[in-house]
Structure 1
Amino acid sequence: MTDPIILGLLSIALIFILMGLGIPVFASLGITGIIGIILVQDFTYVYNVLSTFAFDETAAYLLTVIPLFIIMGNFALHAGVGKSLFHVARHWCGHLPGGLAISTILTCAGFSATSGSSVATAATVGSISLPEMKNAGYDRRLSAGCVAAGGVLGVLIPPSVLLVFYAALTEVSAGKMLIAGIVPGLLSVLVFVLGVFLVSLRHPDMCPPAERAGWRPRLKSLVHAWKLMFLIIVVLGSIYTGWATPTEAASLGAVASILFLLGSRQSLKNKLDSIGHSSRDAVNTTVMIMMTMLGAGIYSFFLSLIQVPQMMSSLVSDLPLPALLIIALILVIYIPMGMFLDAFSMLVITLPIVFPVVSELGYDPIWFGILAIKMCEIGLITPPIGLNVYVIAGIDRDTTLTEVFSGASWFILMELVTIVILFCLPALSTWLPYNM
């Protein structure tokens, strides 16, 4: 059986069968790719390809950004940046309708600018804000939902590991992808804040009003935000001005974060434990990402060998449909996939097939990348596999998984609103990176 389309469809089925058997995503992709190459060529060809494949795929200077951003976020977490941000946001927004929920969203956005991981953002901010909202009498569904949804901002707001991952898979500039996440990230925050505000106005019993802080405490609280502002200036400022490459900027951010940790009011033992834990987590996450890239690379090589991407590009470009509708249909595919797969897996499975189609249709890869990552965000809070939801359910034992999913459903609608705006206004994603 040598028909490329049939082989491609069978390979996709095999990937899901292997994952259903509990085999990790990277292994499912790699095994499927190897079997496919053997069917098309032979064992000798596979051996010749794989002998240098791992080195060729992962020995890239750009990929050093990934562990640096991860360790920067971990150091910032242990330095207490998240707790400081919530303190600032509560003083400025706590008196508004849904003020603590809005403060939670803003804290998630701020911490995302130091982390790059949605799970780390949700876990960090959730452990701080959930007890506060519970003591204030907030509805458990809204409280848990806003933390789970706020965590997904870590996927988009730079320094996002997923933005770098997309850049590595598509050979788009990592610096431009990171800068491209700024405006869509701020738009996502704005939509979330407005959404919480409207929900609070419609259901005031879910969000009891809090006391307004005076101007003196508000201004005084801003002192706690200096670490965040410093990291943003060091990392994003140096990339945007061209003073540093993304890798150099990530290195500067990691150094600044560890200095914050060493300067924090902790015992020397706790500081050393935090450094060790942060380093181990960075190694584990980096290895997971690299292995996923390696498995995806083998599978992508198989698809290229049987020319599936090229055939899909020709087929789709000849369809009697508007090009924008084709892009919209491609994006819709991410919704059911997000119910069962993590964001990295979705990108490595789909991009080898859909990215050539996007290029063939002449659309900007940065614009499509932002939209694809926004679609991946939704998967983090949709049942049954919404990872952020499970994290929040683990933090707050009094709130059931069903209640967290129920609270997150409001934010899924808000995410769709943001995606429609970004889809209709591509300049929101492309103007800033192209004016670096």
Structure 2
Amino acid sequence: MLDPLTAAALSVPLIFILMALGVPVFAALGVAGLFSVVSAESGAFAYSQLKNFPYHHTAVYLLTVVPLFILLGNFAHHAGVGRSLFGVARRWVGHWPGGLAMASILTSAGFAATSGSSVATAATVGSMALPEMRNAGYDRRLAAGAVAAGGVLGVLIPPSVLLVFYAALTEVSAGKMLVAGVIPGLISTGVFLGGIWLLSTLRPGLSTVYEKASWRERIVYLKDAWQLGLLIVVVIGGIYSGWVTPTEAAAVGAVAAMLLLLFAKGTGASRLSQIWGSCRDTLGTTVMIIMTIVGAGIFSFSLSLAQVPQLISEWVVGLPLPGLAIVGLFLLIYFPLGMFLDAFSMLVITLPIMFPAVMALGFDPIWFGILAIKMCEIGLITPPIGLNVYVIAGLDERTSLPEVFQGAGWFIAMELVGTAVLFFFPVLTTWLPNTM
């Protein structure tokens, strides 16, 4: 038998070896965790401890929010919410420098308020905005980068599956975690808009100016955003007011989005097909998340067996550094991890180690959660495995993958600015949930 710390130390490189061989992340985490437990104890001990592990870690009431929020987003997509939002945003900001790219960001922010998925947001907005910007003569890098970066708002602006996932892992209030994403989401949107304006002003060749709509036309087109307003009131308003729990809000929101889809223009047969497709996509995404929870849970159990979180927490608290500096170092760890892992995997690997230390230092867990989610956002557009970048490259065959990554690079710098604002001004994150 190996010493528990030695077994845990050997399991970490094993994860990366397995992933390099093409093993899915959830399986690599589970196998590495099982190796550590068996090496430190025995096969019989591992079996006795882990035989009911998948059930106990997934049969959690809060996790029913996950498929409901994903289903809500799928229904909203087929109901044409994104298409309506882009038409409204284009008429309000299209005449500004980089206006169509700004409209893409605003549409992404609006659609993110109906979808908990970054990929769904990027794909929905990209299918509409990329052809518009291409026809208007926009630089391919700016167009692709704006849509890829706009998609990351889907994991920050509620209803976000990742915010609920963080709440489930750390046992903080899911309702407060969701509401806490509102102001940081607005700040991130504002930073993107300001960055596009500055970039387009300094380099006019990147974009063109769209025809200015009259005030009357802008106001008339606001009526097309009523679907978004309805879903925001039902979901976010319901959670904030305490009228419904996050799970109930997700269920009511999914029903409302389905009704919007049923009453949208189109034949009955096409609507049934879209409902079926939405349910199928929701099932696939939910299974992926659940399997990640199981695999990561086994790995986290192996770390707890070796008391790794406790040892690191004690070591970190004893460092001769200010608490903010330690949290900043924690956040920097997410940067290289985001180059190779998805957001769910990053959280389940790091939180068992980081979260106890953050709590021991006396920081607000909701504030740290939003910062961790922001770093996960950056990973979605960071090479070599920026998931949103690959989605956009697949939508626009005329734009190469390096061009999309180059365009996303401008927005990574903007993301770092937004994260720094939230890091140094925690009240921007904590004020709204504290008023609930």
Residue 372 of structure 2 corresponds to which residue in structure 1?
372
Please report how far the alpha carbon of residue 84 of structure 1 lies from its aligned counterpart in structure 2 after TM superposition: 0.2
Secondary structure in 2 matching 1:168: helix
**d(CA) in 2 for partners of 1:162, 1:330:** 19
Residue 58 of structure 2 corresponds to which residue in structure 1?
58
Residue 142 of structure 1 corresponds to which residue in structure 2?
142
More deviation, 152-161/5-14: 5-14
**d(CA) in 1 for partners of 2:320, 2:218:** 58
Please report how far the alpha carbon of residue 357 of structure 1 lies from its aligned counterpart in structure 2 after TM superposition: 1.1
Residue 214 of structure 1 corresponds to which residue in structure 2?
214
Residue 256 of structure 1 corresponds to which residue in structure 2?
256
Please give the per-residue CA displacement for 1:349-374, whole angstroms capped at 9, x wherever unaligned.
Answer: 11111111111111111111100110
Residue 138 of structure 2 aligns to which amino acid in structure 1? Y
Q: Is the 8 A contact 1:4 1:308 kept in 2?
A: no
Secondary structure in 2 matching 1:431: helix
Query: Given the alignment of the two structures, is residue 187 of structure 1 paired with residue 187 of structure 2, yes or no?
Result: yes
Q: Is the 8 A contact 1:367 1:429 kept in 2?
A: yes
Count of matched residue positions in the alignment of Structure 1 and Structure 2:
436
Structure 1: 5+ residue stretches without partners: none
**d(CA) in 2 for partners of 1:2, 1:41:** 8
Instruction: Give percent identity, aligned residues only.
Output: 64
Query: Given the alignment of the two structures, is residue 160 of structure 1 paired with residue 160 of structure 2, yes or no?
Result: yes
Residue 287 of structure 1 aligns to which amino acid in structure 2? V
Structure 2: 5+ residue stretches without partners: none
Residue 169 of structure 1 corresponds to which residue in structure 2?
169
- TM-score, structure 1 length as denominator? 0.99
Query: Given the alignment of the two structures, is residue 321 of structure 1 paired with residue 293 of structure 2, yes or no?
Result: no
Q: Is the 8 A contact 2:79 2:261 kept in 1?
A: yes
Residue 428 of structure 1 corresponds to which residue in structure 2?
428
Residue 137 of structure 1 aligns to which amino acid in structure 2? G
Please give the per-residue CA displacement for 1:33-59, whole angstroms capped at 9, x wherever unaligned.
Answer: 111111222122211112221111111
Residue 118 of structure 2 corresponds to which residue in structure 1?
118
Residue 23 of structure 1 corresponds to which residue in structure 2?
23
Residue 200 of structure 2 corresponds to which residue in structure 1?
200
Q: Is the 8 A contact 1:76 1:261 kept in 2?
A: yes
Residue 353 of structure 2 aligns to which amino acid in structure 1? I
Residue 318 of structure 1 aligns to which amino acid in structure 2? G
Q: How does 1:37-436 map to 2 (within 5 A)?
A: 37-436=37-436
Secondary structure in 2 matching 1:152: helix
Please report how far the alpha carbon of residue 2 of structure 1 lies from its aligned counterpart in structure 2 after TM superposition: 4.0
**Alpha carbons of structure 1 residues 360 and 4: separation in structure 2 relative to 1, 3 Å:** farther
Q: Is the 8 A contact 1:142 1:407 kept in 2?
A: yes
Residue 227 of structure 1 aligns to which amino acid in structure 2? Q
**d(CA) in 2 for partners of 1:51, 1:330:** 33
Q: CA RMSD in A?
A: 0.9
Please give the per-residue CA displacement for 1:6-39, whole angstroms capped at 9, x wherever unaligned.
Answer: 3332111111111111111111111111111112
Residue 427 of structure 1 aligns to which amino acid in structure 2? V
Please give the per-residue CA displacement for 1:167-189, whole angstroms capped at 9, x wherever unaligned.
Answer: 11111111111001000000000
**Alpha carbons of structure 1 residues 40 and 6: separation in structure 2 relative to 1, 3 Å:** closer
> Runs in 1 of length 4+ with deviation above 6 angstroms?
none
Secondary structure in 2 matching 1:243: coil
**d(CA) in 1 for partners of 2:385, 2:53:** 32
Q: Is the 8 A contact 2:96 2:210 kept in 1?
A: yes
Q: Is the 8 A contact 2:86 2:107 kept in 1?
A: yes
Please give the per-residue CA displacement for 1:342-394, whole angstroms capped at 9, x wherever unaligned.
Answer: 11111111111111111111111111110011001111111100110111110
